């Protein structure tokens, strides 16, 4: 059996649709027929640089976010049935990357999608949610999070009631899920940065105050926050993580406070306390990679609980045309900047020629940090 897959034959080379062999699930795995897949900025970087591809070679695939139906179950898998609706996060392996019709996933690393959640909405969740959750709840270490108690475990829901928090980039996928998780954890006020036209989007996620970064550039953010609250702010999630943003939130962070950043730290040193005992954690958003694996199993179970309680809402999304064939043009759009919406492809709608003008353009500044983070072709070792 074979299936359609969107691949690229070398770094920066245009995508093409091919037929590749459909894998069979091994012990502990499930085979998923993708219904929808979502696009992320890192997909553009994977294609442009060949990021992590030496781990498995060319022709290479991209795609981290997926949602679909379980169609086969490996030995030893319990609690899952053929036809179950699930979402999952890929693990930098050709049989798990999402820009194709069928994928494998560890059964422990999928979440059941309630009937109330659309396929398109479900596909927006995995990477953005995992990046937010790991940054807030994974243990503090050089590549981890700020070690709060997750809201899906006993005693975690509303545990931090009355404490203030900040999220930069509240209209981004990661920012949206960070706001929702902080709200489920009880934080208030929750202050975020976003453009004015995304204010309602951020408030619907749980932000109590939205600061327009066009009117208030990041060097002026500390003064703007002081006008909102005089309470100490001990938790900040920086989903923007430019140098200006990091310097501003580091200034705001109270002594003994903890900061999560999604790009290399420009303040403090990851995993080490500063003189006033502030700490910064550098987040890597794969919940099923190495040291995050055990956290990921509990997190995926927690996703279903948060969906069912109504505390988790998918990102706003836009469906791109032509399914897998439309992804390259979608990634070009994404690389140039897409605000307040997640681009999603319906796999069954795959048709026509593969687009992709501009795939060899320079990596946008907001993604340039990824070039610094990882040696090209090497999977991170932590």
Domain boundary among 282, 306, 340: 282
Do 81 and 51 belong to one domain? yes
% residues pLDDT > 70 (the chain)? 92
Q: Is residue 111 part of a domain?
A: yes
Handedness of CA 340, 323, 105, 115 (dihedral sign): positive
pLDDT tens digits for range 248-273: 999 999 999 999 999 889 998 877 77
Q: Which of 165, 244, 260 is nearest to 205 (CA)?
A: 165
Please check the confidence at residue 109 and state whether its pLDDT lies above 70. yes
Q: What is the pLDDT of residue 358?
A: 41
Same domain flag for 52 and 109: yes
* 269 and 140 belong to one structural domain: yes
User: What average pLDDT does the segment 92-107 reach?
Assistant: 96
Q: Give 379's pLDDT tier (boundaries 50, 70, 90).
A: very low
Give the pLDDT confidence score for residue 143 in this predicted structure. 77
In a domain, residue 308? The reply is no
Q: What is the mean pLDDT of residues 4-9?
A: 96
Which of these three, 266, 282, 298, is where a domain ends? 282
Q: For residues 150 and 274, state if they share a domain.
A: yes
* C-beta of residue 52 within 8 angstroms of C-beta of residue 378: yes
Render pLDDT for 188-237 as a digit per residue (tens, 0 to 9): 999 999 999 999 999 999 999 999 999 999 999 999 999 999 999 999 99
**Which pLDDT belongs to residue 373?**
55
Same domain (yes/no): 241, 261: yes
Is residue 228 in a domain? yes
Within a domain: 302: no
The domain spanning residue 54 has which CATH number? 3.90.180.10
Q: Which two tokens stand for residue 326?
A: 């439309």
Range of the domain at 186: 128-282
pLDDT at 118 (0 to 100): 98
Indicate the helix (H) or strand (E) that contains 106: strand 102-106
| Distance from C-alpha of 81 to C-alpha of 86, rounded to nearest angstrom | 11
Query: Would residue 378 count as lying in a domain?
Result: no
Q: Report yes or no on 303 lying in a domain.
A: no
Query: Could you tell me if 120 and 249 lie in one domain?
Result: no
Q: How confident is the model at residue 337 (pLDDT cuts 50, 70, 90)?
A: confident
> Is there a domain that residue 158 lies in?
yes
Other beta carbons less than 10 A from residue 292's beta carbon: 22
Number of domains in the chain: 2
CATH number at residue 269: 3.40.50.720
- Residues 272 and 356 both lie in one domain: no
Tell me how crowded residue 83 is: count the other CB atoms within 10 A of its CB: 8
Is residue 142 pLDDT above 80, yes or no? no
Of 116-120, 262-266, 268-272, 333-337, give the lowest mean pLDDT range.
268-272
Q: How confident is the model at residue 369 (pLDDT cuts 50, 70, 90)?
A: low
Is the pLDDT at 318 greater than 90, yes or no? yes
pLDDT at residue 382 above 80?
no
How far is it, in rounded angstroms, from Cα 143 to Cα 134?
10
Band (pLDDT 50/70/90 cuts) for residue 15 is very high
210 & 155 share domain: yes
Rounded to the nearest 10 degrees, the angle between the axes of helix 173-184 and helix 126-137 is 50
Asked if 60 and 200 sit in the same domain, the reply is no
Question: What is the model's pLDDT at position 371?
Answer: 54
The pLDDT of residue 380 is above 50? no
List pLDDT tens digits, range 46-70: 888 887 787 788 999 999 999 999 9
Domain contains 287: no
139 with 168, same domain: the answer is: yes
Q: Which of 282, 303, 330 is the last residue of a domain?
A: 282
Kindly give the residue spans of alpha helices, DSSP state H, lying in 212-344.
221-228, 243-252, 293-309, 327-336
Whether the pLDDT of residue 90 is over 60: the answer is yes
Residues 79 and 58 in one domain: yes
Let me know whether 77 and 105 are in one domain: yes
């Amino acid at each position: 059996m074979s299936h359609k897959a969107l691949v690229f034959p070398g770094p920066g080379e245009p995508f093409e649709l091919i037929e590749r062999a459909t894998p069979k699930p091994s012990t502990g795995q499930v085979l998923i027929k993708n219904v929808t897949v979502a696009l992320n900025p890192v997909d553009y970087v994977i294609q442009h640089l060949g990021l992590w591809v030496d781990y498995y070679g060319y022709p290479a695939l991209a795609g981290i976010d997926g949602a679909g139906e379980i169609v086969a179950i490996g030995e030893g898998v319990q609690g899952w049935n053929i036809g179950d609706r699930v979402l999952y996060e890929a693990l930098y392996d050709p049989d798990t990357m999402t820009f194709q019709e069928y994928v494998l996933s560890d059964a422990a690393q999928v979440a059941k999608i309630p009937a109330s959640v659309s396929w398109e909405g479900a596909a927006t969740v995995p990477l953005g949610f995992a990046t937010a959750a790991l940054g807030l709840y994974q243990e503090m270490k050089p590549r981890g999070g700020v070690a709060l108690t997750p809201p899906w475990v006993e005693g975690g829901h509303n545990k931090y009631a009355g404490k203030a928090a900040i999220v930069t980039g509240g209209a981004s996928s990661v920012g949206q899920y960070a706001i929702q998780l902080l709200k489920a954890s009880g934080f208030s006020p929750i202050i975020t940065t976003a453009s004015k036209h995304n204010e309602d989007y951020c408030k619907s996620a749980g932000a109590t105050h939205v600061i327009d970064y066009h009117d208030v550039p990041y060097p002026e953010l500390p003064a703007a926050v002081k006008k909102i609250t005089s309470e100490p702010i001990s938790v900040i999630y920086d989903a923007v993580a430019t140098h200006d943003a990091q310097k501003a939130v580091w200034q705001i962070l109270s002594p003994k406070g903890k900061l999560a950043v999604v790009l290399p730290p420009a303040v403090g040193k990851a995993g080490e306390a500063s003189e006033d005992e502030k700490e910064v954690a550098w987040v890597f958003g794969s919940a099923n990679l190495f040291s995050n694996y055990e956290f990921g199993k509990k997190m995926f179970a927690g996703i279903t609980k948060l969906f069912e309680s109504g505390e988790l809402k998918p990102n706003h999304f836009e469906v791109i045309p032509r399914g897998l064939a439309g992804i390259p043009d979608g990634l070009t759009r994404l690389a140039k900047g897409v605000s307040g919406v997640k681009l999603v492809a319906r796999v069954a709608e795959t048709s026509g020629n593969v687009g992709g003008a501009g795939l060899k353009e320079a990596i946008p500044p907001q993604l340039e940090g990824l070039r610094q983070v990882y040696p090209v072709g090497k999977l991170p070792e932590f």
